[in-house]
Amino acid sequence: MVPPLRLASLLLVLLLCTAGANSSSSSSSTPLTKIGNGYRLISIRETPDGGLVGHLVVNKQNNIYGPDLPHLQLFVKHETEDRLRVHITDAETQRWEVPYDLLPREQPPRLKQSIGSLGKNTIAVSEYSGSEFIFSCISDPFGFAVRRKSNGQTLFNSSADGSDPFGSLVFKDQYLEISTKLPKDASLYGLGENTQPHGIKLYPNDPYTLYTTDVSAINLNTDLYGSHPVYMDLRNNGGQPSAHAVLLLNSNGMDVVYRGTSLTYKIIGGVFDFYFFAGPTPLGVVDQYTSFIGRPAPMPYWSLGFHQCRWGYHNLSVVEDVVENYKKAKIPLDVIWNDDDHMDGKKDFTLNSNNYPRPKLLAFLDKIHSIGMKYIVIIDPGIAVNSSYGVYQRGIANDVFIKYAGEPYLAQVWPGAVNFPDFLNPKTVSWWGDEIRRFHELVPVDGLWIDMNEVSNFCSGLCKIPQGKQCPTGTGPGWICCLDCKNITKTRWDDPPYKINASGLQVPIGFKTIATSAVHYNGVLEYDAHSLYGFSQTIATHKALQGLEGKRPFILSRSTYVGSGKYAAHWTGDNQGTWENLRYSISTMINFGIFGVPMVGSDICGFYPQPTEELCNRWIEVGAFYPFSRDHANYYSPRQELYQWDSVAESARNALGMRYKLLPYLYTLNYEAHISGAPIARPLFFSFPSYIECYGLSTQFLLGSSLMVSPVLEQGKSEVKALFPPGTWYSLFDMTQTIASKEGSYVTLDAPLHVVNVHLYQNTILPMQQGGLISKEARMTPFSLVVTFPAGATEGAAKGNIFLDDDELPEMKLGNGYSTYVDFYATLTKGGVKVWSQVQESKFALGKGWYIEKITVLGLNGSGGASALEIDGSPVTGASNIELSTTEHKFLRKLEDGDDKMKAVMVEVSGLSLSVGKNFAISWKMGIKG
């Protein structure tokens, strides 16, 4: 329980005494227009539940972008020890907010305005005795600051101090603005979705526009498919790193202007609803953030295998050939996908009876299902306007579509004229679930891919079906608008006073999407709900799949919002087959881990145009380690399945071969993501927050806390310069190759065409299996453990874990009788090495018969060899099949330059049969020096 709120006395102080004195003021050379004259706090009081409510009045009207709202309500609450909420809205009229049923949270009180008048420089301070945050605000002009209690650091400061060209709170009906000052040492991450050419750190003066848009991911620094108005702020003061996050929960379009020492939100509606997450570690931030927005969805085991898709598999025989050719090439493949090729006239929930005859498709699915493979198809939100189409008929009968002037809003996507379901309507959710059920009875798919849900529209404005001509024509590009349309600019919703940087072109916000004056259920405007469309469709789809067979749903969604990771995986959209896009994929992937969407990846080899053979080699070496690993290509591009080139097939067998050995590790990371939000793929600073050199690193990434991928990202290169944080790293492909550095350093690694460098950090126990061509078969192979100590150490400790369960069950947790969790431990002393396990819920693992056949320990001191092996306290005699072998490490970089005396060895214990479901202990003596 959080202790009761303690509201500090209201004091008269000088303005310079406001919280935030240690923050830098804006020094940007690009001025910000002063839009408003700010507000004055006239009263503030405590609520019965420990919150704080204040009322504000506008200082002086400023009519730029419309009149200021005269009265505002401030609500502040320390919701947990590490989460603070600051909510500001109209005190007189209810305004649009993210629906509380889509993202559950506490509703602020609606209190009548208090009568009062605070002095000009009054400061109010709010803090919990158990909270890490201190909130303070100054009365006139109103501004607030959030500080960290443990070190006094100011995390957010909107208070004007007279030296800034901004700082005054602006709150108009269709324009909100607020700014915070930032110190120079703040490294910021997040604010997506966009393609950031400068890497994972926010870059000063790059535009960050948040508004879900179907714009190809090749467009740099523009609003893309998702809206995630959250950033993580990492600072390192004197070697003491601390991280926090700031979420502005608002679904309206916005520009976020980052100038290095300031950050300004410019929003076209809604409210200010800030949430602050205290950290102080990056992992702690994501834990707190996903605790609020929803923990990431548990993914089925097979979804961590390799996926193959293409827009242009014209008939079933092509799909069958793809599966067979992967098998012939001995390249792992778990899931085969269809884009819209399986559909009748590109209509959702239909089957093309000529190219995908149902009896043959069902026979194919029986065949692949019998070996553990899966099948997924695409579903777009646009429902074809067709009086003979049952899905449309039932939609009209249930009144499920978004309206304009009382009629379903007409748009165009792949099938031609369409209406869009309104997923804010409970009737639509029921209708959608029924259509998914009907389709699943027709074709037993294993998951659904929901695309085009930003929403994408090939037309703009108010449209009608043209008389006397076919639409679409059936020839030429299908994305050319063929409806009769007229622009809609007569309403303030279609032509708002402030124009966000939509699509990087300042086009109208209704361009190639639903008109923003269209209406959802209960009169909600598309203007407000636009960026929630994909999120609301994802929730409805998840509910439908979960109700089918009681299995764990798998959904891939292009459009995302805050909380989407609770229901779906994500891919980064229509990327290009270029070296630049290969590099961008890493930044986007690790950003989505921060957003609480850990199951993420990019189209391997690029969606279009055709990649070069060399690029596809290098891309599968990266993509094999994406959390979501899928090759996908455009209809107009040549075929690019991994077996199309012999060289790419070799790289795929190598990289995917390692991925399939790592599946138990990846699945355990999936479990950790589900219970704590921890990203599967992470930037290096998550594990090394004190190592400033890795703060902006965007060309390498971690899987979990200890496995580092350092790929080749440039054409014509056969080596890669990789950053190694302090400590010892071991090559996963050749465990004798070792890099050790006390201070951390860059190392140039050999990387011939078929080689990707993957390294494991010290003090880790990594569970692996033998791999295979399908995850189902790979999952039943014997386990091995890789144990790492710092090279040459005479003592140390390592640990790891593994989660195993029935991955078809909807829930992913311990204690249900269908799961097992194992902690592995190892210690190194001068007496030798001990490795042991502690098992929770052993029944499930015992029933599967899993066992550990090999333990490999890296970095052991000396060359005296291993002896006196014991298992569970009993000596192992020479008559057994168990073997000990010792191999000396090859150092690429020593702990100290010129130290040629250090030696370290690898000891391998093979021939074991240790049950994963039982506690075990194995030990041996080493001839350790020192």
- Catalytic residue numbers, as ranges: 451, 454, 574
Nearest by Cα to 266 from 358, 393, 179, 149: 179
176-181 vs 170-171, strand pairing mode: antiparallel
DSSP 739-798: EEESS-EEEEEE--TT--EEEEESSBEEEEE---SSHHHHTTSPEEEEEEEEEEESSEEE
**Selection from 530, 575, 346, 537 nearest residue 450 by Cα:** 537
Phi, psi of 785 (to 5 degrees): -120, 130
| Angstrom distance (rounded) from CA 159 to CA 144 | 6
Strands 83-90 and 272-277: antiparallel
CA separation for the pair 121, 843 (Å, rounded):
66
Residue type, 393: Q
* Whole-number Cα distances in Å, 145 to 19, 21, 125, 126: 6, 10, 10, 11
- 339-360 burial by CB neighbour count: b if 16+ within 10 A, else e? bbbbbbebbbbbbbeebbeeee
592 contacts: CB under 8 Å, gap ≥ 6: 192, 193, 560, 565, 570, 598, 600
Distance CA 542, CA 203 (A): 36
In the chain the first and final C-alpha atoms are separated, in Å, by: 50
- The torsion defined by the Cα of 455, 461, 464 and 468, in degrees rounded to 10, comes to -100
- For 352, phi then psi, to 5°, come to -75, 110
- Residue 433 to residue 440: CA distance in whole angstroms: 10
What is the per-residue DSSP string for 558-605?
A: SS-BTTGGGT-EEE--S-BSSHHHHHHHHHHHHHHHHTT--SEE-EET
Strand 228-237 to 187-192 pairing: antiparallel
Beta bridge partners of 851: 915
Residue type, 319: V
> How far is residue 38 CA from its own chain's centroid?
36
What is the distance between the alpha carbons of residues 799 and 826, in angstroms, rounded to a whole number? 6
Count other Cβ atoms within 10 Å, centred on residue 729: 28
Using only the alpha carbons of the chain, give its radius of gyration.
29
**β-strand pairing of 719-724 with 603-604:** unpaired
Give the DSSP letter string of 70-132.
SEEEEEEEEEETTEEEEEEEESSS------TTTS--PPPP--PPPP----TTEEEEEEETT-S
Please provide residue 907's backbone torsions phi and psi, each rounded to the nearest 5 degrees. Answer: -115, 130
Which CA distances in Å does 789 have to 392, 394, 661, 730, 861?
A: 62, 63, 21, 10, 9
Query: What letter would DSSP give residue 195?
Result: B
Beta bridge partners of 46: 52
Dihedral angle sign, alpha carbons of residues 155, 158, 160, 166:
positive
Residues in the chain: 930
C-beta of residue 256 within 8 angstroms of C-beta of residue 214: no
What amino acid is encoded at 627 in this protein? P
